[in-house]
């Protein structure tokens, strides 16, 4: 069940909110937990059993990680993390690994089978939630949850279950105990944020999707400079409005349920360095890797060489976390390499002069756009062909398929989206709408909740929406 479907918008959310409001304060986590499992079952089917098994293992491990000797606790922590990562590796990467082994074996004439497993929805996200839980309990940063319903609420909470934000346990632990307050004010505060995300997703991202798909589907012998730039820029905008739109919807839904979820985006395309970009893009993922991998590896505390190694390891894994494809590995290496270069030459701090800031912002945006081509392309060959045409002039125009997809409406929306992302880096729209009480914020909130939601609802009802891009991860 997607957030942008009639069933979710007009039936599921109203029923869940009403049930939470009328339930006793000691039963509200139960309502959220049951609703979340129903939400997941509706999309994941039989793979829900895998989620349940992982929850049982991590819940029981959490209870055992508080008492006992340091050696026993450490061994248990290593064991449960190995279990979580093993589940992720088998279901997400076994097929990719067997494909590579088959290709290698074919060189000597052997024919190995390829294993194909259905990818459980949201497995990358709930695996990271489980690891965050057991590590934070082991470190003593937060106590283990004794109440199973509260644990299910944290792991399976439907706003963030399948595509984030990645909520570290320490960030939400204090919000989980019952009795838990929940007021109409929470719904009033969360709905404008949800409306903002819905409009981003349905009106902008989904409208750009056919144009982007046509560009990236262009055969190599028909690729042109215009098609390459249109596809690269279009996907840069589509991905941002799709994923930040999902995050806004998740944060808004969480607030309507009485939870404060962490921010995930802060105008990333306004960054003047790639380092800054990763402080603004998918911030919950960056914080997770920082706290549970980069710092435990030593961070930047053990010399330049170790720092560069740690950055490279983190971004190789960041790439592969997104998917089992060489394109994601190259994308991760590309960004990791850029971060190392920025540190090596001192480019990771923003210049003070306005002219230099503008030039650095343009350069950073260009590098990010090139990276997104690897991220979106079906394979490395297709990515390299498109990137080559970005910089080798070929002004033969668009193919018929791309020209047909480039309708006036889509071109106008692409230009509007481009204007939005090149605005100054403050304010960040989502938090601004929630916190500000000035006239501009009030006008935007009213517009979103009336005209914006109405138009988005028409598009949803007409069936023009598409699944969120991060559902595949």
Q: Is 322 a catalytic residue?
A: yes
Residues 6+ apart with CB under 8 A from 35: 12, 16, 19, 158
d(CA 365, CA 208): 19
**Residue 413's closest CA among 241, 280, 270?**
241
Token pair of 160 as six digits: 């963030």
Please classify residue 343 by burial: count the beta carbons closer than 10 Å to its beta carbon, then call 0-12 exposed, 13-18 middle and 19+ buried: middle
CA–CA separation, 290 vs 339, rounded Å?
A: 14
DSSP 177-210: SSS----HHHHHHHHHHHHHHHHIIIIIIHHHHH
Distance in angstroms (rounded) separating the CA atoms of residues 451 and 473: 32
- Ramachandran bin of 398, using left for φ above 0, alpha for ψ from -120 to 50, beta for the remaining angles: beta
DSSP 266: S
Return the structure tokens found at 182.
């929940």
Closest CA to 330 of 377, 293, 292: 377
Cα(473)–Cα(466) distance, rounded to whole angstroms? 15
> One of 129, 130, 322, 389 is an active-site residue; which one?
322
Q: Is the peptide bond before 398 cis (omega within 30 degrees of 0)?
A: no
Catalytic annotation, residues: 322
């Amino acid at each position: 069940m997607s957030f942008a479907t009639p069933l979710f918008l007009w039936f599921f959310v109203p029923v869940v909110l009403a049930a939470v409001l009328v339930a006793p304060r000691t039963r509200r986590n139960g309502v959220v937990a049951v609703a979340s499992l129903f939400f997941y079952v509706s999309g994941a089917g039989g793979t829900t059993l895998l989620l349940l098994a992982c929850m049982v293992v991590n819940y029981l491990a959490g209870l055992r990680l508080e008492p006992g000797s340091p050696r026993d606790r450490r061994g248990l922590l290593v064991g449960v993390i190995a279990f979580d990562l093993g589940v992720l590796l088998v279901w997400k990467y076994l097929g990719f690994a067997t494909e590579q082994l088959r290709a290698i074996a074919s060189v000597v004439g052997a024919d190995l089978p390829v294993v194909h497993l259905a990818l459980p929805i949201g497995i990358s996200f709930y695996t990271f939630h489980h690891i965050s839980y057991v590590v934070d309990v082991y470190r003593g940063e937060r106590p283990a949850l004794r109440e199973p319903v509260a644990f299910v609420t944290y792991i399976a909470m439907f706003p963030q279950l399948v595509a984030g934000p990645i909520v570290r346990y320490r960030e939400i632990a204090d919000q989980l105990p019952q009795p838990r307050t929940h007021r109409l004010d929470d719904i009033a505060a969360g709905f404008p944020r949800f409306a903002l995300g819905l409009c981003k997703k349905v009106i902008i991202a989904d409208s750009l999707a056919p144009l982007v798909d046509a560009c990236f589907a262009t055969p190599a012998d028909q690729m042109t400079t215009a098609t390459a730039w249109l596809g690269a820029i279009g996907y840069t905008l589509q991905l941002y409005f799709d994923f930040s739109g999902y995050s806004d919807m998740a944060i808004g839904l969480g607030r309507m349920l009485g939870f404060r979820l962490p921010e995930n985006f802060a105008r990333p395309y306004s960054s003047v360095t790639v380092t800054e970009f990763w402080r603004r893009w998918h911030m919950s993922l960056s914080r997770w890797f920082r706290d549970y991998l980069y710092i435990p590896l030593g961070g930047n505390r053990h010399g330049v060489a170790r720092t560069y190694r740690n950055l490279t390891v983190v971004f190789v894994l960041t790439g592969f976390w997104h998917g089992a494809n060489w394109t994601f590995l190259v994308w991760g290496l590309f960004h990791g390499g850029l971060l190392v270069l920025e540190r090596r030459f001192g480019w990771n701090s923003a210049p003070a002069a306005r002219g230099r800031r503008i030039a650095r912002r343009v350069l950073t945006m260009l590098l990010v756009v090139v990276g997104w081509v690897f991220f979106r392309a079906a394979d490395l060959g297709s990515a390299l062909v498109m990137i080559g045409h970005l910089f080798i002039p070929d002004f033969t125009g668009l193919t018929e398929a791309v020209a047909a997809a480039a309708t006036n409406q889509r071109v106008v929306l692409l230009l509007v989206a481009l204007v939005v992302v090149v605005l100054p880096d403050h304010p960040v729209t989502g938090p601004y709408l929630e916190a500000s009480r000035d006239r501009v914020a009030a006008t935007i909130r009213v517009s979103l909740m009336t005209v914006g939601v109405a138009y988005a609802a028409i598009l949803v009802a007409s069936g023009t929406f598409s699944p969120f891009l991060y559902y595949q991860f």
